[in-house]
């Protein structure tokens, strides 16, 4: 049985190859020469071709099961879309910033204060760069940044000082960016 199915497969493959060659040579299949041999046929027509068309396989039933059989109603769709687990959670941790008064989340920096400090830091870095003479030159002494409203401590008297405009808060220590 296995040999006959292999021979049938080989016969179909050769017929397919012959058809492709004729198609590539742009010959019409009707006018192509055929080989005719008189005598008993060596090969019986295979039964597998008729079996393939008549019987359904397990794969066909699985593919059929994957397709939706009924349309979902609008109520079911709305319930599915508006499920309480898919809603955006309400935030209860929003408080006003103690420095500027804008709303922010607890334990997270205020965006407005961060931008203000970022601008101040860029200004201070520019002043330090101008005093030291370039970005890659090491200073001989430490540079201390003081706001105009603050006084230098006795520890930092021998260091270079860079004055900046007064901060908006009461603190004299510049905040890092």
Over the stretch 124-149, which tens digit does the pLDDT of each residue have? 888 888 877 776 777 777 777 777 77
Burial class (CB in 10 A: 0-12, 13-18, 19+), 104: buried
- pLDDT at residue 58 in the model: 66
What's the average model confidence in pLDDT over 114-127?
91
Using a 10 angstrom Cβ sphere, with 0-12 exposed, 13-18 middle and 19 or more buried, the burial of residue 125 is: middle
Confidence of residue 96 (pLDDT cuts 50, 70, 90): very high
State residue 155 phi and psi, 5-degree precision.
-70, -35
**pLDDT > 70 in the chain, percent:** 62
Give yes or no for residue 28 having a pLDDT over 70. no
Spatial separation of the C-alpha atoms in residues 18 and 143, rounded to whole Å: 89
pLDDT score recorded for residue 136: 73
- Name the pLDDT band for 75 (thresholds 50, 70, 90): very high
| Separation CA 67–CA 156 (nearest Å) | 78
Q: What residues have CB less than 8 Å from 104, skipping those under 6 apart?
A: 94, 95, 96, 97, 110, 111
Q: Which of 6-10, 34-38, 171-175 is predicted most confidently? A: 6-10
Closest residue by Cα to residue 163 from 143, 145, 141: 145
The predicted pLDDT at position 171 comes to 47
At residue 39, does pLDDT exceed 70?
no
**Average pLDDT value for the chain:** 76
Distance in angstroms between the alpha carbons of the first and the last residue of the chain: 82
């Amino acid at each position: 049985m296995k040999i006959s199915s292999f021979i049938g497969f080989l016969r179909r493959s050769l017929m397919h190859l012959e058809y492709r060659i004729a198609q590539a040579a742009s010959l019409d299949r009707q006018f192509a020469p055929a080989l005719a041999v008189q005598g008993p046929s060596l090969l019986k027509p295979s039964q597998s071709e008729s079996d393939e068309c008549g019987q359904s396989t397990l794969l066909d039933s699985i593919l059929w099961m994957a397709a939706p059989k009924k349309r979902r109603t609008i109520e079911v769709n709305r319930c599915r879309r508006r499920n309480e687990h898919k809603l955006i959670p309400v935030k209860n941790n929003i408080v006003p910033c103690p420095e500027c008064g804008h709303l922010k989340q607890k334990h997270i920096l205020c965006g407005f204060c961060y931008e203000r400090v970022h601008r101040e830091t860029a200004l201070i870095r520019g002043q330090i760069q101008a005093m030291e003479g370039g970005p890659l030159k090491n200073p001989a002494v430490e540079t201390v940044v003081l706001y105009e409203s603050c006084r230098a401590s006795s520890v930092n008297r021998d260091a270079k000082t860079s004055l900046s405009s007064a901060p908006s808060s009461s603190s004299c220590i510049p905040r890092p960016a």
